């Protein structure tokens, strides 16, 4: 889980670099899943 969390943080910082809409959608959905996982475990999202 921590690995996924760090991955989401890294990719959130790099979103401006990635311009392909398909890739952005993938990262966004991944990030949203990560945040909802944090809500499930009652931890604060980044």
Rounded-to-10 torsion of CA 14, 17, 21, 24? 0
Q: Domain containing 25: what range? A: 2-40
Identify the three-state secondary structure at position 46: coil
Question: Is 6 within the bounds of a domain?
Answer: yes
- For residue 22, tell me if it sits in a domain: yes
The pLDDT, as a whole number, for residue 12 is 64
The reported pTM is 0.36
Instruction: Answer whether 11's CB lies under 8 Å from 35's CB.
Output: no
The total domain count for the chain is 1
In the prediction, which pLDDT does 41 show? 64
Residue 45 lies in a domain: no
- Would you give per-residue pLDDT tens digits along the chain (46 residues)? 566 666 666 666 665 555 566 677 777 888 888 877 766 666 655 5
């Amino acid at each position: 889980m921590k690995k996924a969390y760090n991955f989401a943080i890294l990719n959130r910082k790099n979103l401006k670099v990635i311009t392909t809409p398909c890739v952005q959608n993938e990262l966004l959905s991944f990030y949203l899943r990560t945040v909802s996982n944090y809500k499930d475990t009652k931890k604060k999202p980044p």
